[in-house]
Structure 1
Amino acid sequence: MAQENKAGSLPVEELLQLRRRLAELEVLDSARREVEKELRLERDRAQKYLNIVAAIILVLDRKAKVVLVNKKGCEILGYDELDILGKSWIDCFIPERIRGEVREAFRKLLDQEGEPPDFFENAILNASGEERTISWHNTILKDEQGRVVGTLSSGDDVTEQRLALEALAESEAKLRSVFLVAPIGLGTTSSDRIFIEVNDRFCEMSGYRRDEVIGKCASILYADQEEFRRVGIERKRQLAKEGIARLETKLRRADGKIIDVLLNFSSLSSDPLSNDIFTLLDITDAKRIRERLEKLNSLFLSLGTDVIENIQIILYGAKEVLEAPFSAFTKFGRGGARSLSVPGTSQGFGAEGDAGAHACYTLVEQNAREPITGSDLQATEFVKTDPILSKYPFQSYLCYPVVLEGRTMGCLSIFDYKNREFSRDDIEVAGRLAQALSIEQERLDREEALRDFIDIASHELRHPITIIKGYAISLRELWGAMDWAKREELLEAIELGTDRLNRLALELLDVSRIVRGSFPVNKEEILLIPLLEYAVSRFIEKEVSDRCNMIIKREVGSVNADPNRLLDLIHILVDNASRYSPPDSSIDVVVDRDGRQVTVSVLDRGVGVPDAYRDKIFERFFQLEEAIHHSKSGMGIGLFIAKEIVEAHGGRIWCDGRKGGGSAFCFNLPL
């Protein structure tokens, strides 16, 4: 043991050793600081590298707590780094529904159970609660003794990719579904025209099952090999020129039936030898409709000026276009029913018969607008009553109403010997033909009305002319033998005949003005009651005023009207009442006021007007009696003029039946 010096200090040798030891420690401390500095620099460099990596870098310890996370990981998670470090990865950043699954996978990775997968996908939760799908590559971390201390993981955010893949898969599934159930035939073929795939509609149209055509040549569908070659050549030419091909052809179904189809081809790539996709559309019905329309257009263009001939052309067209053995146009009028049919007489409409005996009368009776069809006609009661069914053994028919001026006045009937179900297209064609018949019937009605008018007008004009001429001859030849009283009687008769002739001429002139739209009405404030009394008094020469009663229910006062036109109006209505009522019956002119309008009614005890004609009697030239049975004076234009006068004053005119018999012609005027 070294000895101490007198001052109690350490031996020199020990002191030197201590100094050397201190120097070594200083060197070691300096070296340690340098190493720590280098380590910090290395760590910072490593962190920078980690931060610029485009993937998540994540280090977890054995308890699955976050030891390290890079900038990309913070961005995806939506947290700052300090908010992530030290947190349980599974409890804080994994959706609850899969935490058990992820925890088990983490345990197996730490325990090195089995071969870990190269990639593992799972969802993570970010700060906003949104799930992101991450594809991980995991590896274990070990210490110097080889013990597992944690995991190192790199992860890529594949959320958008997975969503895109899911959308693509869903889209492919939908496209596949659409392909299979599309309402048109769809399929693909190889460059040598072998079927690769076809859809349900294709199978339905062709009559083949899918397994019967896939892998087979398309030639099995064509009517003949020549058509197969023609379509192939034309398809190739159009595809090379325009990239698509469109052709009409005929195909043979599995049951042997030939159908018209429209084929569309398109290459699946720019290579002309690549596979094709095609569409197949059955145009058999469309082609038949097109041919029918062409026939109808040709039919309508062939119509001429002869109405009866035109109706026959329409009926022949109905027979041909609808492929039926018989067609007829039956119209119903005052005298019953009349028919024109093909095949049948070429002399026009047949004689009138009982309207109710016809099978189609229900359309007219109900004023129907919709057509009716029927089958098993031979088992119906109409076999005995209907003029057509009693003559021909037809089994089915289509009846389409012919409407004229808002009223069903007849019908177009199509008959067939077999029980036939008429298609919607058949009914549509019949509707067009019924419209054509309506137009021709309107022309026929106008022609007949004009002929009737000419006959009636000739009669009406001849009557006063005959009177004037007869009395004039009598005056010339017997002037000297007559006394003044007789001469005045004849001259007065001539004057009355001249007045009647003048009134007929004025009525014709008024009709002409109405048709041209130049019917003059000059309104002024007038007292209505005195005007009506004066109008009635003008019928003295007809001995009507003695049986014409004025009944005023409420005082009226003045109206803004044309006095001359109102005189004409009352003259027409009272004259009409006198001509169609018994000579000893009364005619009542009733005036009543209702608020801001006055109503004038002319009431008679005549034969009345049937309900079906209460609107038509105001039409030009219309008369309840036909010209051949014309027994009452008048040309059928008076009520037409009356209607125009009332409407020109802003009023309305109508005809009602009268209790106890007769008619009530009423009009109202604004006050």
Structure 2
Amino acid sequence: MEEKTSRQGRPEQRTEARTYSPIKIIVILVLSVFFVEAFIMMLFYFYRDFLEPVHAIFIDAPLLVLILSPILYFFIFRPLMALVEKREEAERTASRERDRFQKYLDVAGVMVVVLDREGKVRLINRNACQTLGYREEEVLGRDWVENFLPARLKKEVRFEFARLISGGREAEGYFENPVLTRSGEERVVLWHNAVLMEGGIAAGTLSSGEDITERKKTEMALKESETRYRLVHNTAFDGIIIADAKDRIIDCNESAARIFGYPREELIGQDVGVLVPDKYKKAHKEGLERFLRTGESTVQGRIHEFEGLRKNGEIFPLELALNNFTLGGVLHFTGMVRDITERKRAERERELIQARLSQSQKMEAIGRFAGGISHDFNNILTAIRGNAELALEEMKKSDPAYPRVDGIVNSVMLASKLTRQLLLFSRGQPFELVPLNVNKLVDELLVMITHIIGEDITISTDLAPDLCTIEADESNIEQVIMNLALNAKDAMPAGGTLSIKTENVFIDERRAKSVPDARPGEAVCLTVADTGVGIEKEFLSRIFEPFFTTKEAGKGTGFGLSIVYSIVKQHRGWISVKSEPGRGTIFKIYFPAALPEKEAREVKPLKGGGEKVLLVEDDLPVREFTKAALANNGFKVVEAGNAKEAMEAFQREPDLKVLFSDLVLKDKSGFNLAEELLTKKPGMAVVITSGYAEETSRPLLKEKGYSFLPKPYSVGSLLKAVSEALERSKRPD
């Protein structure tokens, strides 16, 4: 055996074939014959008595050789030489075939392994050696299962190999099995086996295998990527829609199906147009055709706001990010869809809140302005009204100037109502309940309502003649009626009929329990109805919410009906509303009827009996009127223009019975002045007056037990306030 190296650099084993020369064969044969003959002749010599003489020995041998040599050469040695040459040629051919086969195996792109019946490696190619990390001589003759398979598979593979060799099972087409490399790494190989047969018996196996480790890793990575994609696809809050060039939906996630109100299975296969509102369908189709024709798009690559169409026909706002991609040479479109309904609603509410805040700030400014001017304005009205009333007392009704002076008094009363309305903005007007006839109030407001609502709207009234009185604040009830009239005007832009009705009703216990906020007993019902556009059912439950309005931006504050609701609640009343779109709206407002004794009670101003009143007022015309009114009706008046003068007057006149003071003085508040005087003279009657009493002042007035007289006041209300304060001061605590 000699070792040589192949062209591929791998050592090869080759057996040297024996060569035979014809001369060598003849020499061997001649010598053989010669020695045979010599041996024979020696025999003849030793047994000469039985054989020929000695000289015949040396002659016979050469003659025998000469005679036998040609015969042996032509009939024995030449055929023998031919056989030998044929064998040598066969060996050389077999060697060349083995080398060629090995080269074929080595250049093959797959692993090739031949195992014998015992499972030992008999043949392996270069690809297999490179995969395993071994040289050929390190693999040949070794047990394949024991040395080149992972431990966990050895038992199973050995059993299957034994069944294959024994004919218990047929070779499978392809199967995956890992191999163990020199470094301990496992490589996944896709095998194909064939059984090698010799004489009808399985002699081993021929296996070809492809190392698919990297492919398996790629497949695993793709599978993981697909899993991640599906996870993101299916769990994304935003909708994902994939469509083809024919505008047909080929895939979507559950979010997209939820957003548009379809089951996912139903949405797939649909035309994208089913998700597009009618007004956008044409533009959508034209945009797709333009992109397919020119590759240009005005919407792809950016986020746009559009409107979508749900299955139930609802149109809703959405954000769309559109793009395209090519998969397998086929154009596809992908769209990310986000339902922005809630965001748009929040934006509208934020804008509305900002508008409401701005409106509140404006109203607050108006309120501050109203509060600022009301004090001075009411002082002026007080002086005008008071002096006019004093003039009337001195005049006879037959006097030609009497009606004019009486008109001044009435005009001041109307002006005082205006200031009360202004003070509602600043919440500076105290809530004053008095017996009130709603019919009279409606009659007084009709002229104003007529001017406000315009000529296109007809006003119809139906006022009950025997209507009960209610205890209410007149300015507040005026505002209720006016707000409802204005609301009706807005509901009838093309004209219509405004109906105002009053009636007495009785609310029994059963009805009171079935109507929210209702109270059993006698009640006055004020009905304000219109023939306008009506209110949608979905909005009926919200019409009394502050800031809520269905009007266009800038055309409504959302305060009107909320103020109505608040005022009615403050008067222990309740409201019912009936409305249908296109059929108008009916508001029914219920107020508890006043008790009979309160209806019949008349308050008569009391004249004084010489009681001293300390009058503190910094406005001279008001002070002079008040002094005259009190003096003309039996009171003695000590006047002061500020708190300091008041204290000095008290020192001079310690027998003062009543303090009548303006709330706001230049050097001290009326409250502080009253407290200081009461420490010196407990039990003194106190009357506080003001043209602007803030909400914070009202609890303090009640707590201290002071009487309060709002400006502008009349002579009668002045006398009544002073008389009641005196009576209260005489009562034991």
- Answer whether TM exceeds 0.5 for this pair: no
With the shorter chain as reference, the TM-score category is 0.3 to 0.5
TM-score, normalization by structure 1: 0.42
Comparing both chains, which one has the higher relative contact order based on Cα–Cα distances under 8 Å and sequence gaps of 6 or more?
Answer: 2
Larger Rg, first or second structure (1 or 2): 2
